[in-house]
């Protein structure tokens, strides 16, 4: 299996994306903005269509569209502070509508490849882009780990404590947009959100603090991605769909395990 260069490349890309997406996803889920990944991935389709219409690399169009959408979500969220999910819904609706119209204007292009991705057919340049994104995400966490944690759990208290909220949010939005745009092109716009939310959901069941949640989310994502690539290769299945289904099954199993552990603890307390 690993004798093929395309498979080795797919594994590398899968590993770097699996480590990057949960780092972006955990703060979004904890902020109750888990649908943001969905919204941006749909917006990325609009960017892809714009790129194709303008004759530029679709991934550049996707990145530009996601950056604009990220700041739009943040701007609307501040206006509707008590109903932050409205911002995500508005941008998602705009993204779907625009993508629908623009896709009809682009001729001789199969948009299914952008919806579901094709990790087994990525180029070396795309691998280098993914590695660059991973490095940026890790650098961001190394520089602003504590600040992001404070903002995620209590933005008001973080502001009182003079945490540079605007700077951290600005960088986080840019990196989120870059990660989601590139991931949408490689693993599919309909799959990206799942790889941000499912590992985070599994990790929240077992993580006792913010740091553990991030580590567990990354480990879960790695498991989903690697096992998904292996199973899809040997069974002739779509890689992205296989990865997501493994994530869903893992979440169900995690919920059952958590339930059984809780029951055992309660029984031990009564004895």
Task: Residue 176: give its domain's CATH number.
Answer: 1.10.3470.10
Confidence check: pLDDT of 42 > 70: yes
Instruction: State the average pLDDT over residues 112-135.
Output: 81
Higher pLDDT, 249 or 80: 249
Q: Give domain status of residue 226, yes or no.
A: no
Q: What would the pLDDT profile of 78-120 be if each residue is shown by its tens digit?
A: 777 666 677 788 888 888 888 888 877 877 666 666 777 777 7
Q: Give domain status of residue 259, yes or no.
A: no
Q: Is 50 helix (H, G, I), strand (E, B) or coil?
A: helix
> What pLDDT shows up at residue 270?
64
Cα–Cα dist 220/218, whole Å = 5
Cα–Cα dist 9/123, whole Å = 8
Q: Give domain status of residue 266, yes or no.
A: no
Q: Give domain status of residue 246, yes or no.
A: no
> What pLDDT shows up at residue 44?
86
Task: State the residue for tokens 């069974």.
Answer: 235
- DSSP at 161: T
Q: Give domain status of residue 51, yes or no.
A: yes
Q: Give domain status of residue 242, yes or no.
A: no
Q: Worst-scoring range by mean pLDDT, 119-123, 154-158, 257-261?
A: 119-123
Overall number of domains in the chain: 1
Q: Give domain status of residue 181, yes or no.
A: yes
* CA atoms in the 13 A half-sphere facing the CB of 68: 15
Q: Give domain status of residue 176, yes or no.
A: yes
Question: Per the structure block, which two tokens stand in for 245?
Answer: 């289904």
Residue 265 exposed, middle or buried by CB count within 10 Å (0-12, 13-18, 19+): exposed
Q: What would the pLDDT profile of 159-211 be if each residue is shown by its tens digit?
A: 888 888 889 988 998 998 889 888 887 888 777 888 889 999 999 999 889 99
Q: In which band, very low, low, confident or very high, does the pLDDT at 73 lie, cut at 50, 70 and 90?
A: confident
Supply the pTM of this predicted model.
0.85
> What pLDDT shows up at residue 271?
60
Contact 184, 60 (CB under 8 A): no
Angle (CA) 107 52 240, round 5°:
90
Domain that holds residue 34: 5-193
């Amino acid at each position: 299996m690993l004798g093929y260069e395309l498979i080795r490349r797919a594994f590398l890309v899968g590993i770097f994306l699996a480590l990057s997406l949960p780092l972006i996803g955990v703060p979004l889920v904890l902020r109750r903005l888990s649908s943001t990944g969905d919204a941006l991935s749909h917006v990325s389709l609009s960017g892809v269509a714009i790129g194709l219409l303008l004759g530029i690399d679709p991934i550049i169009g996707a990145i530009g569209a996601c950056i604009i959408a990220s700041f739009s979500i943040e701007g609307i969220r501040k206006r509707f502070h008590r109903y932050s999910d409205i911002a995500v819904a508005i941008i998602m609706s705009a993204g779907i509508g625009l993508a629908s119209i623009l896709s009809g204007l682009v001729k001789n292009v199969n948009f299914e490849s952008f919806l579901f991705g094709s990790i087994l057919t990525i180029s070396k340049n795309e691998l280098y882009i993914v590695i660059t994104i991973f490095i940026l995400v890790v650098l961001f966490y190394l520089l602003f780990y504590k600040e992001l944690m404070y903002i995620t759990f209590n933005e008001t208290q973080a502001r009182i404590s003079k945490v540079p909220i605007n700077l951290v949010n600005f960088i986080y939005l840019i990196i989120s947009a870059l990660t989601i745009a590139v991931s949408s092109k490689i693993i599919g716009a309909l799959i990206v959100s799942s790889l941000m939310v499912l590992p985070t959901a599994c990790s929240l069941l077992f993580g006792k603090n913010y740091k553990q949640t991030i580590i567990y989310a990354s480990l879960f994502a790695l498991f989903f991605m690697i096992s998904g690539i292996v199973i899809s290769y040997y069974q002739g299945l779509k890689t992205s769909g296989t990865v997501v289904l493994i994530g869903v099954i893992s979440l169900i199993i995690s919920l059952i395990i958590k339930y059984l552990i809780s029951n055992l603890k309660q029984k031990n307390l009564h004895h």
